[in-house]
């Protein structure tokens, strides 16, 4: 019984931190209609600023908190300036992508400046604990509770009684009308980003002190948890975010109590999916489901794709095939092999996200399914690669489609959140289903690719195999785009309501897009598994999903050739120029930011 109360207290304390994150996200969503993916980065930076202040300046706690709040508030204002203000009126997805790019940049900067190793945050809090009804509470618990309650009260007062607070609420209800009435919407946005970021930074500091541990990798998880808490409370709903945070904290805490720590995130994402499916408007809003506005109309940047003449594309393909005849430099061939595999992933994503308009942030999970399926078929059943790879692709197509099927009725940002969560769930199931997947230890000794009894072990053979896969997938996808399916998928992307009114069954065509994409990604995942001969739950992580999205945007959404170009540029070039790994993510982030700002239609244009 005591331990139950302990877990409850623990859940509420962590829930408080989630609430701090979610409140910020909700405020930002309210005024800017944007899920700020850089929010977790602010949280991390808050933790590091606090750590630096305590370690180097030996500041007392109140001063540390003030420094963190001020630095993060300025960071928030900067984020608004970079990721939001210049993108007003651009495609609706643009600010979201910009915040993803910013989070890459910020996280990587933290890692470069402070090293990727975890740090301990010294706390000058007194060491006393009090026992209330058999539960032992420390100063830290009280501090977190106090910060939560005080900031909620201040926020309430601000929104309710100040002039700027009125302006924030007016902007949240109707940005255009507020603008017409003389509200300085930019100032409102700045203020909201400042407040949200100050709260997020404080959350990071408190978590660092609570666990006495901070590291740069905490950012992504923090964003996810904040988003989950926000969806539970109703996206954009501030009181809802507080309750959502508490509910998420408790669910996680009880989940840990029942099943152990490695299940913690599984519970968080399962809760998210439950809410997305049964109460997509959160706890507080009822009504007719997600808005039916034609939100997708401006989802992709309108443009005329650049069409290269056939002979040009053909000669590029021939050059790619001929390359191993000219050179046998293993480094070059291996690098390009990686680029070809990335290109298959990008092709699958550009169909789903670009052509069908279902922005998927969990595409790497398909690689994982394909990789594990082929590896297990080979290891457990002794299937040769010629059978296990296509079989794995079919399994990926079926399983991938089934997993996202419940999310088909979601729109806009929600489908992105859902696919992100589904991707995380796949990775967590792999981690926890030790009997099948080997858990964190992974699978070892996956046999190499073979063809009619001969192992493909030369770099050339592997290079050609992967290139052939790219060419086949690209040709098939091109043919698909030229058929009635291409037209139907794109119509669905442009306006689901109009498409449905003309007889397009949304479920059917979304399923077709995911199945085709799943098949391609499954092939890529399976081949990767055989090439690496080793897989674990982190081989295909969510960062790869975001990288794939960057490739797709670089090439032009829905653009087949663009996806290949995007993959070669982002995977091949940094490798060839031997850019150190830690700078690569930074480059990806900057590329994404620049693209969204200056060339949202990508290099070759949206199709």
Partner 1 sequence: MPRRLEIRGLTRRFGGVAAVRSLDLAVDDGEFVSLIGPNGAGKTTTFNMVSGLDRPDAGEILFAGEPIQRLPPERIAALGIARTFQHGRVFANLSVEDNVLLGAHTRLRAVKPSIPLVGPLAELALALIRPARVKREEAALKDEAREILGLFGDRLTPRLDHLAYSLSYANRRRLEIARALALRPRLLLLDEPTAGMNPTETEEMQALIAALKTRGMTILLIEHKLDLVMHLSDRVCVLDDGAKIAEGTPNVVRNDPAVIEAYLGHSGIGRARSAEAVGP
Residues 603, 302 contacting (CB under 8 angstroms): no
Q: Considering beta carbons, is residue 195 or 489 the nearer one to partner 1? A: 489
- What is the number of other CB atoms lying within 10 angstroms of the CB of residue 196? 31
Please tell me whether residue 479 binds partner 1 under the rule CB under 8 A: yes
Count of H helices and E strands in the chain? 25, 6
Of the candidates 515, 576, 590, 603, which one interacts with partner 1 according to CB under 8 A? 515
Please tell me whether residue 398 binds partner 1 under the rule CB under 8 A: no
The owner of tokens 């589904």 is 422
Q: Least separation, in Å, of the C-beta of 159 and partner 1? A: 25
Q: How far is CA 332 from CA 181, 320, 572, 578, in A?
A: 60, 12, 9, 11
Residues 276, 418 contacting (CB under 8 angstroms): yes
Q: Considering beta carbons, is residue 212 or 500 the nearer one to partner 1? A: 500
Instruction: Look at residues 31, 495, 520 and name the one whose alpha carbon lies nearest to residue 297.
Output: 495
Q: Considering beta carbons, is residue 194 or 480 the nearer one to partner 1? A: 480
Please tell me whether residue 508 binds partner 1 under the rule CB under 8 A: yes
Residues 313, 105 contacting (CB under 8 angstroms): no
Please tell me whether residue 300 binds partner 1 under the rule CB under 8 A: yes
Name every residue whose Cβ is closer than 8 Å to that of residue 317 and which is 6 or more positions away in sequence.
471
Helix, strand, coil percentages, rounded to 5, for the chain: 75, 5, 20
Task: Determine phi and psi for 233, rounding to 5 degrees.
Answer: -80, -10
What is the gyration radius of the CA atoms in the chain, in angstroms?
Answer: 24
Please tell me whether residue 89 binds partner 1 under the rule CB under 8 A: no
- What is the number of other CB atoms lying within 10 angstroms of the CB of residue 310? 8
Q: Least separation, in Å, of the C-beta of 96 and partner 1? A: 19
Q: Considering beta carbons, is residue 449 or 521 the nearer one to partner 1? A: 521
> What is the C-alpha to C-alpha distance for residues 285 and 273, in angstroms, rounded to an integer?
17
Site string for partner 1, 302-341 (x = CB under 8 A): x-x-------------------------------------
Of the candidates 12, 490, 544, 589, which one interacts with partner 1 according to CB under 8 A? 490
Please tell me whether residue 505 binds partner 1 under the rule CB under 8 A: yes
Please tell me whether residue 286 binds partner 1 under the rule CB under 8 A: no
Q: Which residue stretch of 138-146, 361-369, 489-497, 542-550 sits at the interface with partner 1 (rule: CB under 8 A)?
A: 489-497
Q: Considering beta carbons, is residue 92 or 119 the nearer one to partner 1? A: 92
Q: Considering beta carbons, is residue 116 or 302 the nearer one to partner 1? A: 302
Residues 192, 167 contacting (CB under 8 angstroms): no
Longest Cα separation, the chain: 79
Positive or negative, the CA dihedral 514, 516, 521, 527 is positive
Q: Considering beta carbons, is residue 50 or 357 the nearer one to partner 1? A: 357
Q: Which residue stretch of 24-32, 105-113, 292-300, 330-338 sits at the interface with partner 1 (rule: CB under 8 A)?
A: 292-300
Q: Least separation, in Å, of the C-beta of 94 and partner 1? A: 15
Please tell me whether residue 298 binds partner 1 under the rule CB under 8 A: yes
Strand-pair category, 129-132 with 135-138: antiparallel
Q: Which residue stretch of 339-347, 364-372, 453-461, 485-493 sits at the interface with partner 1 (rule: CB under 8 A)?
A: 485-493
Q: Considering beta carbons, is residue 111 or 281 the nearer one to partner 1? A: 281
> What is the C-alpha to C-alpha distance for residues 444 and 530, in angstroms, rounded to an integer?
10
**# residues contacting partner 1 (CB under 8 A):** 36
Please give the helix or strand (H or E) that residue 309 lies within, else none: none
Of the candidates 43, 516, 540, 588, which one interacts with partner 1 according to CB under 8 A? 516
Q: Which residue stretch of 61-69, 419-427, 445-453, 501-509 sits at the interface with partner 1 (rule: CB under 8 A)?
A: 501-509
| Residue ranges that bind partner 1, judged by CB under 8 A | 292, 294, 297-298, 300, 302, 304, 476, 479-480, 483-485, 487-488, 490-491, 493-495, 497-506, 508, 511-512, 515-516, 606
């Amino acid at each position: 019984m005591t331990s139950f109360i302990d877990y409850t207290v623990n859940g509420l304390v962590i829930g408080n931190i989630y609430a701090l994150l979610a409140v910020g996200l909700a405020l930002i969503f309210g005024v800017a209609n944007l899920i700020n993916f850089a929010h977790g980065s602010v949280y991390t930076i808050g933790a590091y600023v606090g750590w630096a202040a305590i370690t180097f300046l030996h500041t007392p706690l109140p001063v540390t908190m003030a420094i963190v709040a001020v630095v993060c508030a300025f960071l928030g204002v900067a984020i608004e300036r970079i990721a939001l203000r210049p993108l007003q009126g651009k495609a609706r997805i643009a600010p979201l992508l910009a915040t993803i790019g910013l989070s890459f940049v910020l996280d990587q900067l933290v890692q470069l400046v402070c090293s990727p190793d975890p740090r301990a945050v010294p706390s000058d809090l007194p060491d006393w604990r009090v026992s209330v009804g058999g539960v032992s509470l420390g100063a830290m618990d009280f501090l977190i509770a106090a910060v939560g309650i005080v900031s909620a009260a201040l926020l309430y007062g601000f929104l309710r009684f100040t002039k700027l607070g009125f302006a924030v609420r007016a902007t949240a209800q109707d940005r255009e009308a507020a603008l017409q009435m003389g509200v300085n919407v930019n100032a409102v946005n700045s203020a909201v980003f400042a407040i949200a970021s100050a709260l997020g930074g404080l959350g990071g500091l408190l978590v660092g002190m609570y666990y006495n541990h901070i590291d740069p990798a905490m950012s992504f998880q923090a964003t996810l948890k904040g988003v989950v808490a926000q969806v539970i409370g109703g996206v954009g709903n501030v009181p809802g975010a507080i309750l959502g945070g508490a509910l998420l904290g408790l669910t996680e805490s009880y989940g840990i109590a029942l099943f152990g720590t490695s299940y913690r995130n599984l519970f968080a994402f399962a809760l998210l999916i439950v809410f997305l499916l049964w109460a997509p408007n959160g706890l507080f809003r009822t009504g007719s489901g997600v808005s039916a506005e034609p939100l997708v109309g401006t989802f992709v940047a309108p443009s005329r794709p650049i069409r290269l003449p056939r002979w040009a594309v053909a000669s590029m393909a021939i050059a790619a095939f001929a390359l191993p005849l000219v050179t046998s430099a293993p480094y070059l061939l291996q690098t390009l092999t990686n680029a070809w595999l990335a290109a298959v992933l990008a092709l699958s994503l550009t169909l789903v996200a670009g052509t069908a308009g279902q922005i998927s942030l969990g595409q790497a999970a398909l690689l994982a399914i394909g990789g594990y399926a082929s590896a297990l078929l080979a290891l457990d059943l002794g299937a040769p690669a010629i059978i296990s790879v296509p079989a794995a692709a079919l399994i990926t197509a079926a399983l991938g489609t089934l997993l996202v099927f419940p999310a088909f009725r979601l729109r806009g940002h929600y489908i992105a959140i859902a696919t992100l969560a589904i991707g995380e769930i796949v990775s967590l199931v792999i981690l926890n289903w030790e009997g099948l997947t080997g858990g964190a230890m992974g699978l070892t000794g996956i046999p190499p690719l073979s063809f009619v009894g001969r192992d493909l072990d030369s770099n050339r053979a592997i290079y050609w195999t992967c290139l052939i896969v790219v060419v086949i997938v690209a040709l098939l996808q091109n043919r698909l785009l030229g058929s009635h399916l291409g037209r139907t998928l794109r119509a669905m992307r442009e306006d689901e309501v109009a498409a449905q009114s003309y007889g397009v069954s949304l479920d059917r065509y979304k399923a077709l897009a995911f199945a085709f994409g799943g098949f391609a990604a499954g092939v890529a995942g399976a081949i990767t598994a055989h090439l690496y001969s080793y897989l674990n739950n982190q081989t295909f992580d969510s960062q790869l999903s975001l990288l794939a999205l960057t490739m797709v945007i670089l090439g032009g959404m829905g653009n087949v050739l663009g996806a290949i170009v995007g993959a070669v540029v982002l995977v091949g070039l940094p490798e060839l120029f031997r850019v150190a790994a830690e700078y690569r993510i930074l480059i990806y982030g900057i590329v994404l930011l620049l693209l969204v700002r200056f060339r949202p239609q990508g290099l070759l244009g949206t199709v």
